[in-house]
Amino acid sequence: MRTFWRITSLLGSYKWLTVTGFALAFAQMGMSLVVPRITQMTIDRALLGGEAEMLVWFGLALVGVGVVRFAVGVGRRLTTGKASLGIEYDLRNRLWAHLLGQPFAYFDRWPTGQLMSRAMNDISNVRMFLGYGLVFFAVNLVMIVAVTIILLATDWDLALLSLAFLPVLLSVTWRFSRRLQPILKDVQQRIADVTAAAEENVVGSRIVRIFAREDDELEKFSVRSTRVFEASVAAARTRAVYIPLIAFVPNLAIAFLLWYGGRQVVEGDLTLGQLVAFYTYLMMLVYPAQMIGWLTGLAQRAVASGERVYELLDAPLEMQERAGAAPLPQVDGAVTFDDVSFAYGDRTVLARVDLDVPAGMTVALVGHTGCGKTTLANLVPRFYDVSGGRVLVDGHDVRDVRLDDLRRHIGVVTQDPFLFSASIGENIRAGRPDARVDEVRAAAKAAQADDFITALPEGYDTVVGERGFTLSGGQRQRIAIARALVMDPRILILDDATSSVDVETESRIRSALVEVMRGRTTFIIAHRPSTISLADEVVVLDHGRIVERGAHDALMTAGGHYAQMFGDAEARHCDLDAVPAAEGPAAAGEPA
């Protein structure tokens, strides 16, 4: 019930539209109640009473009522529709704003399909109920009360006998709603599971085909679809029993009316016009009775959807700016990790890391997969919050400054860069929409991307496909580097930013990065010794701890973890450099 009231309270933002919609709906109902009375007078006065001249007036009256009902109905749909669509708009924006305020860790726990289903399908269900279900429910309920009063005023004993079905109807409707609610909630959850599976298959379509998993994915999708089918059949079975029953009960009353009321007409206790009007009014209870079942189901579905939406909205923001967060207009770029620890749930990733990086220094973070390199870098722009210790930028704890200010000074290039389905120029401007054309092109040149961009048919106006898959991995990565550089950040994080480019392009990017990194604090996460050698200092992590620090050459000489990781690779690289060109595999006709 709490969720129901929370849903209906959303109408408060559109109270005048809502009030107008309800007023028009009740006016439309009032027009409907006039029709049987006009019919009664037409029969009793014009047809049986000999006042034939009244037929024209009664006919015009019915036409007038119809015109008013039409006009009022149009107005009611426009007002309630606008209110419900406004609520849907506001609620969806509110939900997206809430989700955008959540940190990376939140999305690590939620499947994308689940979030999409709640933001789209569930909010639409709420809108349908508020825009149509609620007003129809209220109108039909008032219609039942109004018709009951009219029938009692016409012939109270006949009315009492005819309306004996109402308690039965209310009991059946209540049982129907109680049984349908949990079923509909289950249906919504299973639909979200199907949406999640579909989203995974679309996004991962290349992986599915590369590993020939079409049959496996189809079976997984079919299993989830079967669950939706079974839950929907259970809901349909419940409706199949109760909705016809709800419609059948009033028909018993109508049958009794024709038998008992007909006898009263024959005996002269009731006029034929009154019987026809009585019958028409009683028939007017059938539609509300039928609608109550459907509207109850709509309400239950809206409540189930509302619970799923509020489950997201009620989740606290896991990363918030502290009250009175300080602005950070200027940054030199000094970064300090002070006794930093971090864990994903129960899994410790970083343990008491101490690292001081002066402004303008380039530091390479290296280590085996899973040692915490990327996690350590992600703590600087506060994509995650530390479990212990502090991360300082220019002496400010990143938790004490405004997030927008902090991130405005930090450029990040990830290993698997994401591009929007927009033009290349728009993608480069993602972090700085006001960047001029010459600034965009300068950033692209620094990232060694200008040559291939200008070779495209529409240059910087070329629209890339979804996630940028119309470009090669190396091209996407170079655009991502340009996107970071156009921000002119004081701190630059390159997370394996050259992993998807060939050796020649990497060499060109390295040359450009030497200039780009000058004067910036730069964190390089890389596996290629050639890229790591750009760093002023190399920091080696192992199992979440710093085990070595120093210059590349000094660490190679020391023979520790770093030398073990890269010594053999560097030796092989040197051996290949020493091989004469005529002895290379390409010279021998072998594939290069």
Per-residue confidence (pLDDT) for residue 365, from 0 to 100: 92
User: Please, what CATH class does the domain formed by 9-313 belong to?
Assistant: mainly alpha
Predicted structure pTM score: 0.64
Cα–Cα nearest to 350, from 385, 380, 375? 375
459 torsion bin: left (phi>0), alpha (psi -120 to 50), beta (else): left
Per-residue confidence (pLDDT) for residue 206, from 0 to 100: 63
Query: Are 520 and 492 in contact, with CB atoms under 8 Å apart?
Result: yes
Burial of 446 (0-12, 13-18, 19+ CB in 10 A): buried
- In this model, does residue 572 exceed pLDDT 50? no
Per-residue confidence (pLDDT) for residue 591, from 0 to 100: 33
Per-residue confidence (pLDDT) for residue 586, from 0 to 100: 36
Query: Are 254 and 165 in contact, with CB atoms under 8 Å apart?
Result: no
Query: Are 425 and 440 in contact, with CB atoms under 8 Å apart?
Result: yes
Cα–Cα nearest to 249, from 309, 169, 194? 169
What is the mean pLDDT of the segment spanning 484-492?
88
Average pLDDT over the chain reads 80
Q: 10 Å Cβ neighbour count for 471?
A: 21
Q: What's the Cα-to-Cα distance from 118 to each of 17, 86, 235, 300, 506, rounded to whole Å?
A: 26, 18, 20, 16, 43
Beta-carbon contacts of residue 259 (< 8 Å; ≥ 6 apart): none
Per-residue confidence (pLDDT) for residue 523, from 0 to 100: 93
Per-residue confidence (pLDDT) for residue 208, from 0 to 100: 67
Lowest mean pLDDT segment, chosen from 71-75, 128-132, 314-318, 403-407? 314-318
The 8-class DSSP code of residue 213 comes to: -
- Stated length of the chain: 592
Q: For 500-529, what is each residue's pLDDT tens digit?
A: 666 776 776 676 677 677 788 999 988 777
Q: What's the Cα-to-Cα distance from 108 to each of 93, 202, 293, 348, 415, rounded to whole Å?
A: 22, 19, 41, 16, 17
Coil vs helix vs strand at 495 = strand
Most confident of 14-23, 117-126, 172-181, 575-584: 14-23
Structure tokens belonging to residue 562: 């770093």
Per-residue confidence (pLDDT) for residue 337, from 0 to 100: 94
Distance CA 370, CA 514 (A): 28
**% of the chain at pLDDT higher than 70:** 89
More confident residue, 432 or 249: 432
For every residue of 273-339, DSSP letters joined together read HHHHHHHHHHHTTHHHHHHHHHHHHHHHHHHHHHHHHHHHHTSPPSS-PPTTPBP-------EEEEE
The 8-class DSSP code of residue 494 comes to: E
Query: b/e for 350-376, b at 16 or more Cβ within 10 A?
Result: bbebebebebbbbbbbbbeeebbbbbb
Lowest mean pLDDT segment, chosen from 65-79, 165-179, 220-234? 165-179
- In this model, does residue 257 exceed pLDDT 70? yes
Per-residue confidence (pLDDT) for residue 579, from 0 to 100: 39
Burial of 61 (0-12, 13-18, 19+ CB in 10 A): middle
**% of the chain at pLDDT higher than 90:** 9
Cα–Cα nearest to 8, from 133, 173, 177, 186? 133
Coil vs helix vs strand at 109 = helix
- In this model, does residue 582 exceed pLDDT 50? no
What is the mean pLDDT of the segment spanning 285-300?
73
What is the mean pLDDT of the segment spanning 300-312?
84
More confident residue, 6 or 579: 6
- In this model, does residue 27 exceed pLDDT 50? yes
What is the mean pLDDT of the segment spanning 346-368?
90
For every residue of 394-443, DSSP letters joined together read TTEEGGGB-HHHHHHTEEEE-SS----SSBHHHHHGGG-TT--HHHHHHH
Coil vs helix vs strand at 192 = helix
Per-residue confidence (pLDDT) for residue 363, from 0 to 100: 93
**How open is the CA angle 97-100-104, to the nearest 5 degrees?**
160
Coil vs helix vs strand at 127 = helix
- In this model, does residue 575 exceed pLDDT 50? no
Distance CA 118, CA 121 (A): 6
Cα–Cα nearest to 28, from 131, 146, 130? 146
Structure tokens belonging to residue 51: 């006042």
Q: For 418-468, what is each residue's pLDDT tens digit?
A: 888 788 899 899 878 888 999 999 988 888 888 889 998 889 998 887 666
More confident residue, 202 or 41: 41
What is the mean pLDDT of the segment spanning 80-87?
87
The 8-class DSSP code of residue 462 comes to: P
- In this model, does residue 573 exceed pLDDT 50? no
